[in-house]
Amino acid sequence: MKTEEIGYISKTHGLKGHVILRLNDLINIDEENIKSVFLELNGSQVPYFIEECRPNNTGYILKLETIDSVDTSKKLIGKKAFAMSEFLLENTESLSEFIGYTILDSKLGDIGIITDVDEKTNNPVVKVIHYTGVEIILPFNEDFIIEIDDDEKTIQFESPDGLVEMYLNS
């Protein structure tokens, strides 16, 4: 049985023993089919069966069998998490390759440089720093991308009406 490190337990969630599993970069799990995680306790990998697994903005909310209170779940904070290879998804392409690219909006022109990509959910977003220092968060999907120029490191983009202005005028 081969396991791979996938992340760590970052904090508790709620009062019934749920925990947040924060994944390492470029790791994706098969949230529909994963049955267990292994947590590193005293130098050994201890298996925990998963009763519930759902995504949140920083990773996954897990309900682990036998962990049913905040006090019990607090003991897992900071523990490395492992999973069997069969529950890991191939990350064929990561959007992080676009960090450093300039976003050229069809109406507003140069709106800034991509500094971060969040692709933990089905709707990836990019964080763009405008030249005024304002952080702008944009949905990053085919509906808004007109053209990507890898040589120039630019992305022609058509942002949703009013979205960029909302950040700049606040």
Concatenating the DSSP letter of every residue in 42-62 gives TTEEEEEEEEEEEEETTEEEE
Q: Which CATH number fits domain 3-89: 3.40.640.10, 1.10.760.10, 3.30.360.10, 2.40.30.60?
A: 2.40.30.60
pLDDT tens per residue, range 60-93: 999 999 999 999 999 999 999 999 888 877 655 5
Give me the pLDDT at residue 57, please. 75
pLDDT average, residue stretch 142-166 = 91
Residues of CATH 2.30.30.240 domain(s) within the chain? 95-168
pLDDT tens per residue, range 27-43: 778 888 889 999 999 88
Q: How confident is the model at residue 113 (pLDDT cuts 50, 70, 90)?
A: very high
Give me the pLDDT at residue 91, please. 58
- Class in CATH terms, 95-168: mainly beta
Asked if pLDDT for residue 50 goes beyond 80, the answer is yes
Mean pLDDT of the chain: 88
